[in-house]
Structure 1
Amino acid sequence: MNWVVRVPRAALARDGALAVVLAVVGMITAGEPVPALLAVGAALPLAARRVWPLPVACITATATAAYLVWGYRYGFILVSFAVAVYTAALLLPPRRAVFVGTFALAALLAHVIALGGRSGLGGLLPGSTWAVLPFAAGWSVRIGRESAALRREEQARLWAYEERLRVAQEVHDVVGHGLAAITMQADIALHMLPSRPEQAPIALAAIRSAGRAALDELRATLSMVREEPTPGVAGLADLVERMSGTGLEVALAVADTVRALPEAVDRTVYRIVQEALTNVLRHAGATRVDVDVAYGRDVIVTVRDDGRHAPVYVPGRGIAGMAARAEALGGTVEAGPDPEGGFRVCARLPVPAVSA
């Protein structure tokens, strides 16, 4: 059974600090050695509350139950208990979360049964509050996050549908332009062949060049609508190799410390790089493109070429599609002429972190 959750180091440091504070305050307010020891035992496991939420909640609930069954009054130890229950409700799968909530409630109310007449049924209500309210708060935050994730996924599907419509128009434009160029050069060759046959090879070479360019653009465009699963960062090397086959020199640099990305972010990184390279192939007149993927708090994708750019930049549909993909995940895309020459696209995609 896998209870472990991957957590950023910064979150672990915050949890460690929280556990120490709760342990120190609980020990000071307890007064006597036994309740102080139980308060420390309930608080310190919270340092790993996001890594092992289920065992931590069980340990903290057990220490709290022992504290109350021992006959001590409600105290600061219940803060540690509430944090553990909240975390379990937030991070665990629903069935395990319900199990932990039930176990915590039973453990917290054990002193009512154990103490009998000294506590009485009047202890049920305040005891239940310390378990039910943190669990309800954690569950509510969890539902809110899941709903937000579903909305982002739905938005991503909508953008994908709209992109397919855009790609259909792109296919029409590519094929129409390529056939028009080929037809024009063929007419020239047929016209020149009787009187100036030495010019025919030049026209035929232009036909070949136009055909190859149209095929390259068509392949790049149609690759967006294949029904195959979209690659992620791991597929960038193959994408760069295919683009290099068009005569465009592409250099790829991916950070050494590769992070495990959510599937939606991983796919979006690939699509943004793919769209940026396709735009370079079609519009930039570049000879070299540098692709950089860096990992910080966010994933930062930069595509820079050495091609020409217009003095006044007007964003096209390709840039709008990249921006839409990024915005669906809460990110941004900046595109425009690079001060060092050429054109630059920079996308910043946030990576959701497990937090409480």
Structure 2
Amino acid sequence: MNFIYIGAAATLLGVPAGLAMTGGNAQTVMTVSLAVFLAGLVFAARRWPRSVLILSVLTIAAWRPAHLIEAGWVWPATAALILTVLAGHVRTAVITGAAAMTWGLLWDYGATQRSSDWVFAHWCGEALWVGAVLAAAITWRNNARWQELELGRRRAEERVEIARDLHDVVSHTLAVVGVHLNVALDAFDDDPEEARASLRLAQQVRGQAMTDLKSLVGVLREGEVPSLASLERLADQVRAAGLPVTVNEFGDPVEVPAPVATAVYRVVQEALTNAVRHAGATQVTVTLRYAPDEVLVDVRDDGPGSEAVPDGHGIAGMRERVAALGGALTAGPDERGFVVRASLPLIRS
């Protein structure tokens, strides 16, 4: 809407001033009437930009041969020309401007007493003005479209990131809670106390999942991210499900940027979830190695594994998350179980 008001004001003031500068009589009633009429049309350009442009150019083309104005074929309709381009009708603006300039050149050569040099010089000046206006308007529009596309791309990346985090939190929680529920179901008749203990642990894990989901909302609202200090708490959840987890750290701890810390946390979370759900493991070892320029994370279980990497969103999500930070991730069985290994450069934000 701001462009509408600016265009109307510029037309109202610019047409008389421009006609005076180009040799026209800016004091005549018709000149002021033309300015008011074209400025009024600008307000309709929001809804009918092409119609306003064509009507503006036709008005100028009618008044000029009638000697109601003495200069200009297209430039008095500059505001309508710009608004037509910004509305996305670039072809209409270019064709209308070119047609008006061609008609003006033919009329001036055939029906005026001016010399050919004068006609050509004034036509070239107006053509340069129209060309510059079109180029500026197209550049502005393209830049605005690029910004919209970039914003859409960033929003898409954020949605993918949110989907990964939700998958990591929910799948990990369901895996651990599922183990406890199975234990409680098996012990329900023979050992009610063990069944109650398993249900209490399941409830604790569920409560922790709610905390994690609240933290995820905090990430969306405030930019908070999981820290590497939370890995021990993550391991405790898996230990409570009956799967021993060892967390080892080697090297001098370094300041890990937030995106890298989040990626390491999610990789470990997904790998532990897979170990609980799929591997049939009896032991999991999480190893962090700090180097001056990278962090290495290795999650290894002693389950039988398989020749094929489990298909699903988890492994693919981990690989995409790590690759987005310039790192690399491998996942697959070896002679001692299943291994997820990732290396992430210490990017600085």
Q: TM-score range by the shorter chain?
A: 0.3 to 0.5
Return the TM-score normalized by structure 2: 0.46
TM-score, normalised by the number of residues in structure 1: 0.46
RCO greater where, 1 or 2, for CA within 8 Å and sep 6 or more?
1
